């Protein structure tokens, strides 16, 4: 029985991932800064689900959580770096501490998770990392500056480690959803969400994470997986369109009505 460790798994996309993988017979680690909510989900799932405390910005907590989980599960097969936060609105209207917190959780959290997990992944019979990136990593998004920047960083980490860790037989992949129906996008102050809409569910993203976990390791296995039709179109166009066209399209997407 393979195992999966998910950060930020107490609610939203993380909870949907935990639920789906548990249904598919995996041992599931539900780790979150909200320990009570994580424990509640683990109890709902039952056997082969374990909850634990994890502040992803704290490297020592990562080490403790992964050691605890691996001792329980037997080995660590899949790491999902899901934990993330979002602040929206004009860049200057968001206090600098909030921008820094976005970096601490969305970027440092992924760096911490990958770095702390490598010793466990290297000894596993099968090992894979799946990061939660975003359509915001296709082109910088106004009113979501630090969030968009953080997801560009996740995209870069994914690409670099997918090449670097080939020597260990570890694929590092990501999923790139547009806006998802979770608490994170409620009351967002960004024109792009009004213009693009919210059409994806947490279950939609979880299904694509599962496909990433099951994907064969070949030269043709894409490092990035856009989630949803709109993201696929934007991702495809960005790779072939001139830069000024990409900028213009994002100006239109971000235009306030």
pLDDT tens-digit series, residues 25-58: 999 999 999 999 999 999 999 999 999 999 999 9
What letters, b where the CB count within 10 A reaches 16 and e where it falls short, cover 89-113? eeeeebeeeebeebebbbbbbbbbb
pLDDT tens-digit series, residues 203-252: 999 999 999 999 989 888 999 988 866 666 566 656 655 554 544 554 45
Higher pLDDT pick, 191 / 116 = 116
The CATH number assigned to the domain holding 14 equals 3.40.50.720
Helix (H, G, I), strand (E, B) or coil at 132: strand
Pairwise CA distance, residues 224 & 234, whole Å: 13
Host domain of residue 182: 3-253
What is the tally of structural domains in the chain? 1
DSSP E strands: which ranges in the chain? 3-7, 27-32, 49-53, 78-81, 128-132, 171-177, 224-227
CB 13 within 8 A of CB 82: yes
CB 66 within 8 A of CB 76: yes
Catalytic residue chosen out of the listed positions 26, 87, 139, 147: 147
Say whether 147 is catalytic.
yes
């Amino acid at each position: 029985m393979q195992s999966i460790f998910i950060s930020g798994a107490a609610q939203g996309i993380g909870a949907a991932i935990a639920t789906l993988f548990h249904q598919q017979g995996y041992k599931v680690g539900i780790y979150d800064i909200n320990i009570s909510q994580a424990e509640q989900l683990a109890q709902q799932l039952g056997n082969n689900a374990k909850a634990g405390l994890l502040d992803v910005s704290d490297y020592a907590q990562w080490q403790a959580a992964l050691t605890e989980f691996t001792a329980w599960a037997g080995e660590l097969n899949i790491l999902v770096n899901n934990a993330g936060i979002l602040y929206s609105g004009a860049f200057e209207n968001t206090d600098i501490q909030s921008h820094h917190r976005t970096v601490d959780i969305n970027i440092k959290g992924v760096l911490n998770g990958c770095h702390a997990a490598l010793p466990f992944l290297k000894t596993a019979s099968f090992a894979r990392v799946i990061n939660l990136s975003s359509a915001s990593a296709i082109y910088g998004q106004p009113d979501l500056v630090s969030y968009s920047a953080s997801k560009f960083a996740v995209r870069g980490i994914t690409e670099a480690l997918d090449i670097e860790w080939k020597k260990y037989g570890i694929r590092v992949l990501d999923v790139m959803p547009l806006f998802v129906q979770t608490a994170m996008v409620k009351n967002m102050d960004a024109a792009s969400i009004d213009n693009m809409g919210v059409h994806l569910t947490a279950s939609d993203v979880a299904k694509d994470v599962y496909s990433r976990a099951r994907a064969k390791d070949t030269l043709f296995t894409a490092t990035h997986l856009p989630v949803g039709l709109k993201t696929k179109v934007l991702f495809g166009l960005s790779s072939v369109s001139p830069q000024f066209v990409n900028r213009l399209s994002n100006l239109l997407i971000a235009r306030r009505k």
